[in-house]
Structure 1
């Protein structure tokens, strides 16, 4: 029989001030009673203490003292998992934390599976599936925007919107079914107009959430950014400034960068996944030609292109080619080497392109703040408000919304084609169930297990 009480280390396995071992399940208090001895009260039983209290003493394996600890007890359902939960705060060394976990397992718990604490919170109704996924997003947040978005979703911003949409749909399903069962008392005459009055704004709301997924991906994963430019324009110097260390080789020799170099950086609240590329120019060098082709491929897939122009050299046909290439893409032009005598001005570049132009000096580290503000304005219109706005950051949620929206479209088509009302309820129910998968309703066990398997062990 599989033991129902689980335990795991909830803190990073490294030297630190505190380590936490978490226990959850029906035997949590019995286990802690077997291994905890209070300071000055050797016979103290934590199972008899009030919930949400902290106790000072020792974890013991028989007569051996393992460590001096603080123990927090929480009775279900007022805990993270909605089960009886115990957290042992011990000294943060790797060895002592592992030793305490071994003691807990020895006296009746089993090792938790990855994400099993949060999985239990979901299964016990403590949170829905979208909130559970937000926990992992919060842990993996790479920037301040991602953190705020995850907290907003954890508080139920996505859940509330989805539940509101489902309530509207289920109302019409119930009405149609009732009318079909009792046509003498409930009439469907003219009901198509009433239903369309709900479908149109509901479909629009779904489409807005689907569109938010582009911003949501950028929030959670970072802005895929490619630095383009001719050889020796200062691309690698710019990368080094943004990263804050010498990651790219910088020389006065044109064509030093032959391959792509990838780095992730933070600019205030933003995350950029930056790719430095080979200088774009016509070349007969086989290796350099491969690098140029890889630069173009990376740029085609990028969310943002930063084109670095050497302000000390005149514009030429290579610049003109790149300007054409980035014409319909999100791009920022950096007029670099402003510390030297310039032969190119911002007005010159604006004659060639409608993209924003920022004067910088990678050598002098000037103009970088202006670049940060321009990126923020370009992607987030200057700010993000997580109080009212909902951003879809999960691909699974986006796909469910797409399917639900498609089902509502089918209802619209059935109305326009004069189909019987039971056709409406079939597609409405499909939309209702697709939205339910976001919350964790009507999802297969395999999907639930797959989602939680990506969590860390102690969460």
Structure 2
């Protein structure tokens, strides 16, 4: 991929907003060393220009206009192409307060840098060929990872696990195209029919590989975005107690901080590596009763948003009209039915419950005694992975854009297969195969439009 056009040098704060031990200002571009040289005075007397790539110097940031010392700092030099952006990059590591960071950033802008756009450092890494588009998107997935499992998927994609499989598929499709075009170019050899038969076999193999990859998409999406989960049930059935049990201290809770990469705060509970995104957490905590105080319509709205419903019933009481109203929300949804208070004398008839559950998993638990919670956790893990290998062992499709492109490629392969079965000319088969090849290229960025690229990188933080 060609290098960036233009000669802009960009600068931004690369660390999170707020107070911290260390803050970093990142500068990238042909003027990065010169700009840093105007601001940084080494304690040893060395100049920034004298630094070799990946060396550091200790010193101070000075305002050239006033001679004022702004902060104590360490300067790190990374010469092109051995840097994140493949350009000259300088990082200024100073104290992590908002005032010194902003002062130093402003000084870099005064000296000729411009403020980086969201994701522009990673965009330059992509445009300069250091990362493909799938790897670049994995960077933001790493930043937003909610559990170790989601981190492993993102790191695997950054290392090229997904890209390697997609490139192998593109290469296979390209070989099919070459084989058919060779048959078209030499009609006197009468090999066109044989070539089509060979390609039909190759298409079947490519479809199988693509189907296997797409089978990871649902799990990958959940690991990336979280399993949207709602807890519903009648009054006093134990919803708040279950939520508190899930949120106990040994669980990891991850909160996205506003102003970094996202605009909203969401609460996630780590269940065996699966990030459960609890829907309407505040509402469930504030009321012990979704059905009575919010109403069945509100419960319906929550259910519509959910990937998973945890429906609580009371083992110590017969099935009530409220229970039936909630059970009737289950059709078409993924749900686990939890019969709580199993430590008390049972008055609930499970046979009646099973009339509504449609074969869904029913677990007996006691939230008060923390019985059955391990089984619930395992059930959620099994439901999400569906028998697939765990993250780190294979490539996972965890991005809606990627899964859409892969599904479109599979459709084009199906079209090519149908074209062969209909006995149509090889050039018609080639048209379908080229479209499949292009759809696969959209994943890695080889055949994607500039508007899509811009849209992807605007989701990043400034400074990444």
Q: State TM-score, norm by structure 2.
A: 0.86
Question: For the residues of structure 2 that align with 1:403 and 1:173, how far apart are their CA atoms?
Answer: 18
Secondary structure of the structure 2 residue equivalent to 1:401: helix
Residue 337 of structure 1 deviates from its aligned partner by 2.2
The separation in 2 between residues aligned to 1:365 and 1:383, in whole angstroms, is: 29
Counterpart Cα distance in 1 of 2:217 and 2:397: 5
Cα distance in 1 for partners of 2:51, 2:61 equals 17
361-370 or 390-399: which moved more?
361-370
Aligned with 2:52 (options 33, 50, 53): 50
- 1:169 alignment counterpart: 173
CA distance in 1, matches of 2:190, 2:42: 69
Alignment partners' CA distance in 2, 1:440 and 1:298 = 37
CA shift in 2, pair 1:67/1:317, >3 Å: closer
- In the TM superposition, residue 384 of structure 1 has moved relative to its aligned partner by 4.6
Q: Residue 402 of structure 1: SS of its match in structure 2?
A: helix
3-state secondary structure, aligned to 2:187: coil
Cα distance, 1:316 vs structure 2: 4.8
Quote the residue 2:85 is aligned against.
81
Residue 449 of structure 1, CA deviation: 1.0
Q: Counterpart of 2:204?
A: 200
Give yes or no for the alignment of 1:454 onto 2:459. Answer: yes
SS in 1 for 2:441: helix
Judge conservation of contact 1:114–1:457 (CA < 8 Å) in 2: yes
Pick from 413, 416, 419: which aligns with 2:421?
Answer: 416
When the two structures are aligned, how many residues end up with a matched partner?
Answer: 435
| Maintained 8 Å contact 2:412/2:433 | yes
2: CA distance, partners of 1:221 / 1:427: 33
- Corresponding residue SS for 2:19: coil
Kept in 1: contact 2:296–2:325 (CA 8 A): no
Q: Which runs of 5+ in 1 are unaligned?
A: 246-261, 282-286
Q: What does the per-residue CA deviation read over 1:73-124, in whole Å, with 9 as the maximum and x for residues that have no partner? A: 1111111111111111101111001111111112121111110000000000
Query: Is 1:60 the equivalent of 2:65?
Result: no
Deviates more, 1:7-16 or 1:47-56: 47-56
- TM-superposed deviation, 1:297: 4.2
How far did residue 66 of structure 1 move?
A: 1.2
Q: 2:135 touches 2:160 (CA, 8 Å); kept in 1?
A: yes
Question: How many Å apart are 1:397 and its aligned residue?
Answer: 1.0
Q: 2:31 aligns with which of 27, 42, 56?
A: 27
1:126 aligns to 2:135 (yes or no):
no
**1 CA distance for matches of 2:395 and 2:231?**
31
Cα 1:179–1:355 shift into 2, 3 Å:
closer
Q: Is the 8 A contact 2:222 2:274 kept in 1?
A: no
Deviations 1:259-301 (CA, angstroms, capped at 9, x unpaired): xxx95433342211234678587xxxxx85x721231343355
Do residues 216 (structure 1) and 214 (structure 2) align? no
Contact 2:118 2:462 in 1 (8 A): yes
Q: 1:300 to 1:452 in 2, by over 3 A?
A: closer
1:223/1:304 contact within 8 Å kept: yes
Q: Which residue of 2 aligns with 1:249?
A: none
- Judge conservation of contact 2:180–2:195 (CA < 8 Å) in 1: no
Query: Comparing 30-39 with 113-122, which one deviates more in the overlay?
Result: 30-39
| Pair 1:175–1:65, CA change in 2 (3 A) | same
- Tell which deviates more after alignment, 9-18 or 366-375: 366-375
Residue 208 of structure 1 and its aligned partner are, at CA, apart by 2.7
